Amino acid sequence: MYLPDFEYYSPDSLAEVCQLLSQFGSRAKLISGGTDVIVKMKNELLAPEVLVSIKNMDQLKKIEYVPGKGVVIGARATHNDLVYSELLAEKFPSIPGAAKQMAQNQVRNAGTVGGNICNAVPSADLPPILIALGATVNVIGVNGERSLALEDVFTGPNTTCLAPDEVITEVVIPDQKTTGSTYIKFGLRAAGALAVAGVASAVCVENGVIKDARVVLSAVAPTPMRAKKAEAFLKGKKITDELLAEAGSIAAEECKPISDYRASAEYRRNLVGVFTKRSLRKAINEGHV
């Protein structure tokens, strides 16, 4: 469980971070809170020769509202920064709601939004609710900046479309008409357990009719996954228990779970059915929770 030797850089500018990542290429690893990187190094799953830290990038800690843009969350905001954000409590409490369900206090104090996205495990808890809320991410690299939909970042388990020199700087939740959103997960312990399956829902409801819905599933596919057939089925329909149950069945049909030591594929599929219905009902009845 000892750490292997490595060189450590902690630059003061994002330009330097990207330059170092580009210079060292596959020999380097970006580190933010380190709750994934250090654990993997100790377990000999990762042995970078160089660690490039973004811990000095205080500008990436912000959580603010920018008129015309939306809620901007810096990539170095920790899970507990989300939990205690007054702005998020007012605008999208479903985001702190998801962060509260993650890990233990120590991990929530160190782990960051950018790290949770870029670690790209299928069971990560923040991507589903952020995708359900239509998040985009801003990215900087040696060749400049770009913006892309969060759901397009993930390419498979532990892989993203980011180039080795690219850093996520912020996540943007656009202004929108959603009336409710929530993320619920099932873990093998009441606290501090990874999701066996999770479902985030975001809905726009007018006069008892679902005008729009996003349903995003975690831990039941190689990447966080939108249940697009269930979303399309819900649109324009009057809310009934039968409708939400049917949406759950459709989502269960379209997910792609595997069996592993935490649950069988069949069990996960059943969870998706039940949790889709439950999360939609919660988002409809309770708003952004």
Ligand X SMILES: Cc1cc2nc3c(=O)[nH]c(=O)nc-3n(C[C@H](O)[C@H](O)[C@H](O)COP(=O)(O)OP(=O)(O)OC[C@H]3O[C@@H](n4cnc5c(N)ncnc54)[C@H](O)[C@@H]3O)c2cc1C
Residues at the site binding ligand X, with contacts judged by CB under 6 A: 29-37, 39, 75, 102-103, 107, 110-112, 114-116, 118-119, 124-125, 162, 167-168, 194
Which residue, 33 or 70, is less far from ligand X as judged by CB? Answer: 33
Which residue, 107 or 148, is less far from ligand X as judged by CB? Answer: 107
- Closest CB 136 distance from ligand X, rounded Å: 14
Which residue, 194 or 252, is less far from ligand X as judged by CB? Answer: 194
- Closest CB 231 distance from ligand X, rounded Å: 23
- Closest CB 179 distance from ligand X, rounded Å: 26
Which residue, 166 or 254, is less far from ligand X as judged by CB? Answer: 166
The pair of structure tokens assigned to 288 is: 């952004």
CA-to-CA distance for 40 and 170, rounded, in angstroms? 25
Which residue, 129 or 280, is less far from ligand X as judged by CB? Answer: 129
- Closest CB 187 distance from ligand X, rounded Å: 7
Which helix or strand (DSSP H or E) is residue 44 part of? none
CA torsion sign for 146, 161, 219, 54 is negative
CA torsion sign for 22, 136, 67, 95 is negative
Contact 99, 79 (CB under 8 A): yes
Which residue, 162 or 210, is less far from ligand X as judged by CB? Answer: 162
CA-to-CA distance for 163 and 142, rounded, in angstroms? 10
Contact 289, 282 (CB under 8 A): yes
Q: Which amino acid is at 286?
A: E
- Closest CB 126 distance from ligand X, rounded Å: 6
Contact 139, 169 (CB under 8 A): yes
- Closest CB 209 distance from ligand X, rounded Å: 34
By beta-carbon distance, which residue lies closest to ligand X? 115
Which residue, 36 or 246, is less far from ligand X as judged by CB? Answer: 36
Single out the residue of 115, 105, 107 nearest to residue 54, CA to CA.
115
Single out the residue of 264, 263, 269, 262 nearest to residue 248, CA to CA.
269
- Closest CB 23 distance from ligand X, rounded Å: 16
Rg of the chain in Å (alpha carbons): 19
Which residue reads 């990038």 in tokens?
57
Neighbour tally for 17: CB within 10 Å: 24
